[in-house]
Structure 1
C-alpha cells in the first residue's frame, strides 16, 4: 500500500487570457437537453513531460502552447466563452471570446518526485487549476528537472470527455505544426477528410432536439431524478479521496478471461470493482450500486435523425447517460465474476441504444426548466446503502497524441474529485501504449484501503 505525503509548493509567475486569434461575433449557444442534466462540475486533466532530448527551452514551449491555443480556439470557440443564466433560469453558453485563463507557474521539485498516487495532495490546485472564470482554464508548470506539467480544467456542462479529447488533439497538432495559420485556413476550405475529422467540432444542437410529441420509457424515471436546486461548490456529504493506480495488461486480460468470452475489458474491470465494494461491506443486506457512463454517439450514428456520421462523432457537448444496477453485498459476494459481469453488461445495454437517448432528451424536455440529474449521483451511504460508484471509460483518452512538439508525455490522467457522495472511477490507457491501464479512483478511504488490501496484485499505486 502506498502512502500520501504533504503537498507541493507551486509559484504562480503569470496569469493571462488567451483568446481566439480570429474575431468571434458574440452569440449565445444553447446547451442541449443532455447538457442540462449536468450540475456545475469542473473536470481536470493533466499531462506530464520529461525534459526530453529536443532543444526546446521553457520559454519556447510556453510561446508554442499559447500560439497553438489561440489557433485551436477558432473552431472550438465556445471554450473561450462563459456560461450564463438565461431568463428561464437555465445555463447557456455566451460565446464572446473572453478567452481562456492561462497560468504559468514553477515548482521546486523534480517531475519524478511528484506523488501521483495521492493527487488530492500533490495535483489539486497545484498542477490542475481551480477554474475561477469562463469555461476552460490551463496551468503550465515548469519543474526543477526541466520537465513540464500541463493541467486543464473544463466545465462539464459544456462538454464531455469525448469533446474535450477532440480539442486537446487539435491543440497539440496545431501547436506542433510548423505553420498553424495554414492549418486554420484549411478548416474553412477543407479538402482533407482526416483534418476535418480532427479539427472541426459540430455544434448542431438540432441533432439532440426533442421529438414532437415526445415520449420515453418509464425506466428513465428510475435512472434520473428532479432536483429543485442543483448546488455548486456544496460541501460533500461524505468524505471521498482520490488515488491513481496502474493495472498491468496481464491482469486486465486475466479479468476478461474470468468474466467470460463475450465481455469487454471495461465490463470485466467494472465487475471486479463492484464485487470488491461488496466485500468491503460490514453487512450483507446493504445495497451496492454501480453506475456506468454510456456514450450515446455510437447509438446515434445510424439514427434516422442524423444523416452525417461525422457530425455526431464530432458533436461538441454531452452525449452521455448513466444507467445503474444494484444488488446486495451478500449477493455480489456469492456470485462468480462472470455473473457479475453479466449484470454489468445488462446495465450498459439498458442505455446503449438510440431509443434510450431520444427518450432521455424527451424526459428532460418534459420537465424543463426544473433541473434533473443522474439518480446514482444522489446516493448517500447509510444503514441500508453500502456504496455507490460510477465508472466511466477513458479508453479514448488521447495521452499518446499529446505531443506539442517536444515529445509525448510520460504520464497523463483525468482528475475529477467531483465533490459528491458517490464514487467515481475512470480507467484509461497508459502512455506506454502496451495495454496497461492508469486508473483514477475517487472513493471513500475505507473502500480504497480495502481494494488495495484485497487485490494488491491488480491495483498498484502509480509511481514513476
Structure 2
C-alpha cells in the first residue's frame, strides 16, 4: 500500500461540511504481472461514464469499541487483499492502436479517501442526493478505474462509497466486488473467485446474421450530429431524488396494470407508470422508455455457469417508443403491455449473442444505444434499471448490514435515469433513485395517491409490532 500524501480539504457547500483527512493509493498486496485486458463487445457499448454506489451504516452496536480509525484500517487491508483477485480494478484505461479502450492491469492502485462529515445520520436528507451525496459522500474519480471514499458521521455511522468506470462493470459485477471485499474484511478469506474470460462473450465465427432491428436499437456515434447526440441542457435543469414506495402501493399498481388475466411484474407496472408520467410532463409527439436487461441468465443455462462469476458488462437496453397522446389517454394496462413487449425482445439468448455479433461487425467504430440519442424531433426518454441483482445483504464489513444502499448516477446523457431497489428493511417496500429534469419531477411528486414519498430515515427504521 503506497501512501500518496495526506491532502486536507473541505467541502462546505449545502447544509453540512465534509473534511477530507487523507488520500492514499491502495495496491494489491501481492506482486501482479502486467496484463492487457481487452473490453468485451458488450463493454464497448458503454460510454466513458462513471457510476457510484454507496452504503450507509449506523454506528456499530455489535462492536461498540470499534473506532473509525480501526474500521478504516480494516477496509484498506482487505481492499489490498481482494485486489489480488480483482486486479483489473487497480489498473487504468488506455486506448489501443485501433482507438478502442483497453484495460491495462498494471496495479497502479485504487485511490482511497478518508473523510469526516459534520452531520449525524438522522440529519441526512436522504431524499436529496444532490445536496447529501454528490461531491460529499461519494468520490469523484480522478485516476484509474475505481475510487473509494470512507466517511465518518458525527454519530459514529460510516459511509462506504465507490465510483467506478462503467465501461468495465455493470451493477452485478460491482456488487460482486463489494461483496467480496466485505467478505475478506469480515473473514480474511474469499470463497468466490471472479473470472475475466472475455471469450465467454466472443462473437460467433462465422458470425450469424443478427436481428436487423438492432440497427434501430443502436447507432454509430460518428453518424450523430454532435449538437444532438447528447443533452445540451444546462446541468442545473437536472435533479436527483430518492423516493420510498410502500409495498401495498406497489401491489396495487401491479394489479392496476394487469389486464385480461395477464399479471404484470412490478418492474413492468412501475415502468409503465413512469412512462405515462414523463409523457404527461411533455408537449412532444413521442416518448421513449428503455429498460436495462442483464444477460447472464439468458446466456447461461445454469446458475453454476462461468458467466455468473464473470466480471464485466452483460447488459442490453431495449426501448420502446409511444406517442405522448396515447400515453396520456390510454390506461396503465396498455402502457404495461408495451413494456412487456419491449422486454420480450431482449430477454433471450439469441438477442445477446446477436448483439455481440452486431458490435463485432461495427468495430472499431463506437456505438451507443439509440435511446440515449436525441434527434431534432425526438421527445423525452427515460431508462429504468431494476436492482434485483444488486444484493446489499452481503455487504457486511464486520459491523453489520447497511442502513441504506443506493446508486448515484447523475450522468450527462439526454435520457433520464431511474434505479428501482428493494428496501433494506425487507418488508416489501421499494427505494427509487431518479435523475430527471426538474419539470418532470414536479408531475411525479404530485402523482395521485402520493405513491412516491421523499425518502426519510423513518422509512428505513423497522417498526415495532
TM over 0.5: yes
After TM superposition, the score normalised by the length of structure 1 is 0.90
Is contact 2:118–2:154 with CA below 8 Å preserved after alignment?
A: yes
Is 1:328 matched with 2:326? no
Which is worse superposed, 243-252 or 5-14? 5-14
Alpha-carbon contact 2:254-2:266 (below 8 Å) kept: yes
Instruction: Say if 2:347 is the partner of 1:352.
Output: yes
**RMSD of equivalent CA atoms:** 1.9
Q: 1:427: which partner in 2?
A: 420
1:117-163 per-residue CA deviation (whole Å, 9 max, x = no partner) reads 12112211211100011111100110111111111100000010111
- Runs of at least 5 residues in structure 1 that lack an aligned partner in the other structure: 185-194
Shift of the 420–119 alpha-carbon distance from structure 1 to 2, 3 Å rule, reads same
Per-residue Cα deviation, 1:402-426 (whole angstroms, up to 9, x for no partner): 1111111111100001112110001
Partner residue, 1:450: 443
Aligned to 1:37: 45
Q: 1:407, 1:134 → 2: CA distance?
A: 30
8 A contact 2:95–2:101 mirrored in 1: yes
2-side partners of 1:411 and 1:426: how far apart? 14
- 1:362 matched to 2:357: yes
CA deviation digits over 1:203-252, x for unaligned, max 9?
11111111122221110000000012999xx9951232111111111111
**Alignment partner of 1:159 is 2:153:** no
> Which residue among 378, 389, 400 is the counterpart of 2:393?
400
Whole-Å Cα distance in 2 between the matches of residues 386 and 212 of structure 1? 39
After TM superposition, give the deviation of residue 262 of structure 1 in Å: 2.8
From 87, 109, 119, the counterpart of 1:109: 119
Q: How far, CA to CA, are the matches of 1:252 and 1:415 in structure 2?
A: 23
Q: CA deviation at 1:282?
A: 3.3
Q: 1:76–1:201: 8 Å Cα contact kept in structure 2? A: yes
Q: Matched residue pairs, number?
A: 433
In structure 2, do the counterparts of structure 1 residues 237 and 405 end up closer, same or farther at CA, with 3 Å as the change threshold? same
**Cross-structure match for 1:188:** none
2:182–2:397: 8 Å Cα contact kept in structure 1? yes
Residue 8 of structure 1: CA displacement? 3.2
Residue 237 of structure 1 pairs with residue 232 of structure 2: yes
Aligned counterpart, 1:67: 77
- Contact 1:271–1:340 (CA under 8 A) maintained in structure 2: yes
Three-state SS of the structure 1 residue aligned to 2:111 is: strand
Moved more, 148-157 or 52-61: 52-61
Please tell me whether residue 172 in structure 1 is matched to residue 172 in structure 2.
Answer: no
Q: What residue ranges of structure 2 are gaps of 5+ in the alignment?
A: 1-12, 458-465
User: Partner residue of 1:339?
Assistant: 334
2:221 is matched with 227
Q: Does 1:379 align with 2:378?
A: no
Q: Would the aligned equivalents of 2:395 and 2:402 in 1 still touch at CA under 8 Å?
A: yes
Q: Please tell me whether residue 276 in structure 1 is matched to residue 269 in structure 2.
A: no
- Structure 2 vs 1, CA of residues 9 and 255 (structure 1 numbering), >3 Å: closer, same or farther? same
Q: For 1:104-143, list aligned pairs within 5 A.
A: 104-143=114-153
Post-superposition shift, 1:89?
Answer: 0.5
The equivalent of 1:77 in structure 2 is 87
**Once the two structures are superposed, what CA deviation does each residue of 1:149-202 show, in whole Å capped at 9, x if it has no partner?**
11110000001011111111111111111xx1xx25xxxxxxxxxx3xxx2112
Q: Rate the CA distance shift 1:240–1:335 in 2: closer, same or farther, 3 A.
A: same
Contact 1:240 1:421 (8 Å CA) reproduced:
no
| Secondary structure, aligned partner of 1:157 | helix
Aligned residue for 2:7?
none
C-alpha contact 1:400 1:433 (8 A) present in aligned 2? no
**3-state DSSP of counterpart to 1:408:** coil
Q: What is aligned with 1:296?
A: 295
Alpha-carbon separation, structure 2, partners of 1:90 and 1:18: 27
- Distance in 2 (CA, whole Å) between partners of 1:458 and 1:102 is 39
* More deviation, 113-122/369-378: 113-122
- Length-normalised TM-score, structure 2: 0.90
Q: In 2, distance between residues paired with 1:224 and 1:86?
A: 23
Moved over 4 A (4+): none
Name 2:244's counterpart in structure 1: 246
Find the residue that maps to 1:395 and give its secondary structure. Answer: helix
